[in-house]
Amino acid sequence: MLELLDLHAEVEGRPILHGVTLTVPKGEVHAVMGPNASGKSTLSKVIAGHPDYVVTGGDVRFDGASVLGLEPEERARRGIFLSFQHPVEIPGVTTSVFLKAALNAVRRSRGEPELDAAAFLRLARERMQLVEMDKELLHRSLNEGFSGGEKKRNEIFQMAMLEPRLCVLDEPDSGLDIDALRVVAKGVSALRSPERTMLVITHYQRLLEHLRPDATHVFVDGRIVRSGGPDLAREVESKGYQWVR
Amino acid sequence: MSREARDIVAERGEYRYGFEWPLDTERLPPGLDENVVRFISAKKGEPDWLLEWRLSALAAWKRMEEPRWQNVRYDPIDYGAISYFAAPRKGPATLAEVDPEILRMFEKLGVPLEERAALAGVAVDAVVDSTSVVTTFKEKLAALGIVFCSFGEAVREHPELVRRWLGTVVPATDNFFAALNAAVFSDGSFVYLPAGVKCPMELSTYFRINEANTGQFERTLIVAEAGASVSYLEGCTAPMRKENQLHAAVVELVALDDATIKYSTVQNWYPGDKEGRGGVYNFVTKRGKCLGARSRISWTQVETGSAITWKYPSCILQGDDSVGEFYSVALTNNRQQADTGTKMIHLGRNTRSTIVSKGISAGEGQQTYRGLVQVNRKAAGARNHTRCDSLLIGPRCGAHTFPYVDARNGSAILEHEASTSRIGEDQLFYLRQRGLSEEDAVSMIVNGFCRDVFQSLPMEFAVEAKKLVEVSLEGAVG
């Protein structure tokens, strides 16, 4: 379960979040919709613990405990995963080398045995199919020269490998064409589980048509202004964000 | 930038090789004059021509000025306060006769001298302070006609080879530090490959400065006759000391027609502490001559140690269609300074050269790439590709690049790519978000940055180099 309690945060001294309160019960998928520059991405970075984002009030609680004092890697090892809107490129580091190290770091913290290279590759090949990802990408430098769609698929693939308990997806649909969007949505849907909580941040309602979240929240100017069911997403899309302000 | 990134840099991980080993040593009092040179030469039982060569170098050195153009800062070196000869007192002839103390010291260094040498298939020459203490695998190599021995032994056993090639690539008066070396060098390694012989194993030298206030001046000479090939690796360590230690080595390589020499260095001299106290002053002249047609000389260096590095492994591409390569990873952390790069001198036709330089600066480290690509009038069809990347970790380090190009033949094709980047907060955050610690994230990014160069190292040493870079960066973040 994810709980945001009157969360305030700023970046470089500029307040962005102005009291966000939100509860996503375990196993549910909630959508956060909002216009550009409303602070949606900030919300995801704060949950994951980006050092540039300073929490000035309120709390982020995961399964009943505050995570604010934890380093990003500690949050990751507790099962918090952020699918980035703009995944970074790391030249010279292959996706497989990076992901094997990450997976084993997470497994160690869970008290699970590390995977050797062969077991890792078997698992990776299987999970790549979830997002119809080209296996060659495993052996290329992480995200370097990847198309926009490949980068987004790679995020969902990593999510499938790391098996997090809380997934924050920051615009997993941005820049995707309709076919790629369907593939990404299918991958995310396949990873839904009663043990996994998801917060999906998006601009458009189309992704939500595929995902069918349990609840939708409209996010404007650093706070949630309205919450509701699937109809809310459709209404926002047709009437625009001005309507809910 | 985050707090972590602002505080980035701090203590270097503990220098693993910083112990001092109590060896029974014979050493000269500090100071340098003709008598010192005569003493060294006599001690080595050298022929007159070599003594004369040394004396001429000393005379030249006395008239020379220490170079000041490099982009490094240090207090003046008092050449009168350095001892120019130190050697373990027991001189061995075979491995069985090696002072067991020396064997234990090399064991502690992780150098495979005995069975481990056999397992690793690496032939090792070990130089402590100034004297070569043991050369393994000599008989096996001798069966192929390969000479791999200490420099002193080469002078005794193969004087005609040494006399023919010594100073032909780096003359005794080449530069201040090379002249100093020529005057007082006390040992080093010598490799000779007869025509057509491909050396079946990696050859390796480990250098160790043990004694206090001692300069190390070793000299390496490798000659590959037509069609021969060899891969050679040198590693270096030194004890931790508050005082600086001077290391002024010379390496000369000669490749005849169709010969290949691959020379790899993993340099881990003591870098000094985090305030910049102590550490080795590494002023080294390395140069290879592609004398024959289609010959090839390849330098790969991983430079993580030394307080100051001044080093430009270079290639003179004299033979037509010869190839020169320079692959470098240099890392400066804390107060380390490095001014390093290469010179590719194209003399022959259709000569090709490649330069890949990766500089990493952390802490208050200062790093300079200095490279020259020179194409002479007759070098039609010369080609060079240079790639020069700098990576900065934290706000207090520096990267500087001085690429010189001197093209006198219109048919030359020269390409230069360069980049400077900072390890991004976003890159670190991405990796940490996936569960990697900040240190692991930094070493992953740095290793990725160095990958092109590590790939050109012999495989077993690539692993070592990767670990060394990780250790050298410990404490650079967080």
pLDDT at B116 (0 to 100) = 38
What residues are paired with A60 via a beta bridge?
A4
Q: How many CB atoms lie within 10 A of CB B453?
A: 22
What residues are paired with B326 via a beta bridge?
B299, B355
Residue B8 has pLDDT above 50, yes or no: no
**For residue A49, which residues of chain B lie inside 8 Å, CB to CB?**
433
Mean pLDDT, chain B, rounded, equals 83
**For residue B436, which residues of chain A lie inside 8 Å, CB to CB?**
73, 101-102, 105
Q: Do B432 and A105 touch (CB under 8 A)?
A: no
Q: How many CB atoms lie within 10 A of CB B34?
A: 13
Chain B contact residues (CB < 8 Å to A): 1-5, 424-427, 429-438, 440, 444-445, 447-452
Q: Which residue of A has its CA nearest to B443?
A: A93
B432 domain-assigned: no
Residue B458 has pLDDT above 60, yes or no: yes
At CA A164, angle to CA A159 and CA A167, rounded to 5? Answer: 75
Nearest CA distance, B468 vs chain A (angstrom): 18
Q: How many residues does chain A have?
A: 245
Helix, coil or strand: residue B116: helix
**For residue B2, which residues of chain A lie inside 8 Å, CB to CB?**
51-52
The first and second tokens of residue A240, run together, are: 């625009």
pLDDT one-digit tens code per residue, A140-177: 999 999 999 999 999 999 999 999 999 999 999 988 98
B283 domain-assigned: yes
B475 domain-assigned: no
Share of chain A above pLDDT 90, in %: 84
**For residue A106, which residues of chain B lie inside 8 Å, CB to CB?**
434-435
Q: Using the Cα atoms of residue A202, residue A203, residue A207 and residue A212 in order, give the sign of their dihedral.
A: positive
Residue A94's contacts (CB-CB under 8 Å, 6 or more residues apart) are: A138, A139, A140, A141, A142
Nearest CA distance, B466 vs chain A (angstrom): 13
Q: Where are the domains of chain A?
A: 2-244
Distance of CA A199 to the CA centre of its chain: 7
Q: What is the dihedral of CA A57, A62, A68, A70, to 10 degrees?
A: 180
Domain boundaries, position B76: 17-423
Q: Do B433 and A81 touch (CB under 8 A)?
A: yes
A29-33, strands of its sheet edge to edge: A80-83, A166-170, A197-202, A29-33, A215-220, A223-228
Q: Do A98 and B431 touch (CB under 8 A)?
A: yes
Q: Do B435 and A73 touch (CB under 8 A)?
A: yes
**pLDDT confidence of B121, banded at 50, 70, 90?**
very low
Alpha-carbon distance A148 to A200, whole Å? 18
B162 domain-assigned: yes
Distance of CA B189 to the CA centre of its chain: 13
Name the maximum alpha-carbon separation found in chain A: 54
Q: How many CB atoms lie within 10 A of CB A4?
A: 21
Q: Do B437 and A105 touch (CB under 8 A)?
A: yes
**For residue B430, which residues of chain A lie inside 8 Å, CB to CB?**
84, 87-88, 90
Q: How many domains does chain B have?
A: 1
Q: What is the dihedral of CA B38, B43, B48, B54, to 10 degrees?
A: -50
Alpha-carbon distance B471 to B13, whole Å? 6
pLDDT at B115 (0 to 100) = 39
Q: Which of B348, B303, B301, B355 is nearest to B324 (CA)?
A: B355
Domain covering A2-244 in this structure, CATH number: 3.40.50.300
pLDDT one-digit tens code per residue, B186-214: 888 899 999 999 998 888 776 655 555 56
Q: Do B438 and A71 touch (CB under 8 A)?
A: yes
pLDDT one-digit tens code per residue, A25-70: 999 999 999 888 889 999 999 999 999 999 999 999 999 999 999 9
Q: Identify which of A21-35, B15-29, B102-116 has the greatest average pLDDT.
A: A21-35
Alpha-carbon distance B236 to A131, whole Å? 49
Q: Do A105 and B440 touch (CB under 8 A)?
A: yes
Residue A154's contacts (CB-CB under 8 Å, 6 or more residues apart) are: A87, A95, A133, A137, A143, A146
The first and second tokens of residue B466, run together, are: 């990767």
pLDDT at B88 (0 to 100) = 60
Pick among B429, B437, B450, B466 to test the A interface (most A CBs inside 10 A):
B429
Please report the ipTM that was assigned to this predicted complex.
0.97
B444 closest CB neighbour out of A75, A87, A93: A93
Alpha-carbon distance B289 to B170, whole Å? 9
The first and second tokens of residue A219, run together, are: 């996010």
Q: Do B2 and A105 touch (CB under 8 A)?
A: no
Q: Contact, B455 vs B447, CB < 8 A? A: no
**For residue B424, which residues of chain A lie inside 8 Å, CB to CB?**
88
* DSSP output for B263-316: EEEEE------TTS-SEEEEEEEEEEEE-STT-EEEEEEEE---SEEEE--EEE
Q: Which of A13, A19, A11, A75 is nearest to A219 (CA)?
A: A19
Alpha-carbon distance B351 to B55, whole Å? 37
pLDDT at B319 (0 to 100) = 97
Residue that is written with structure tokens 């290391």 in the block? B247
Chain A contact residues (CB < 8 Å to B): 48-52, 71-73, 75-77, 81-82, 84, 87-88, 90-93, 97-99, 101-103, 105-106, 109, 141, 158, 162
Please list, residue by residue across A217-242, b when 16 or more beta carbons sit within 10 angstroms of its beta carbon and e when fewer do. Answer: bbbbebbbebeeebebbebbbeeebe
pLDDT at B390 (0 to 100) = 92
**For residue A92, which residues of chain B lie inside 8 Å, CB to CB?**
447-452
Q: How many residues does chain B have?
A: 478
CA atoms lying within 13 Å on the CB side of residue B87: 20
Q: For chain B, what is the total number of helices (H) and then of strands (E)? A: 13, 23
Q: Contact, A47 vs A60, CB < 8 A? A: yes
Share of chain B above pLDDT 70, in %: 79
**For residue B5, which residues of chain A lie inside 8 Å, CB to CB?**
51
Q: Do A90 and B4 touch (CB under 8 A)?
A: no
Q: Do A93 and B448 touch (CB under 8 A)?
A: yes
Pick among A42, A47, A90 to test the B interface (most B CBs inside 10 A):
A90
Residue B465 or residue B262, greater confidence: B262
Residue A3 has pLDDT above 80, yes or no: yes
Residue A128 has pLDDT above 60, yes or no: yes
B296-303, strands of its sheet edge to edge: B131-135, B122-128, B202-208, B229-237, B260-267, B296-303, B323-332, B352-362, B383-393, B413-422
User: B77-91, B110-124, B399-413, B462-476 — which is least confidently predicted?
Assistant: B110-124
Distance of CA B331 to the CA centre of its chain: 14
pLDDT one-digit tens code per residue, B381-422: 999 999 999 999 888 889 999 999 999 999 999 999 998 888
**For residue A90, which residues of chain B lie inside 8 Å, CB to CB?**
427, 430-431, 444-445, 448
Share of chain B above pLDDT 90, in %: 49
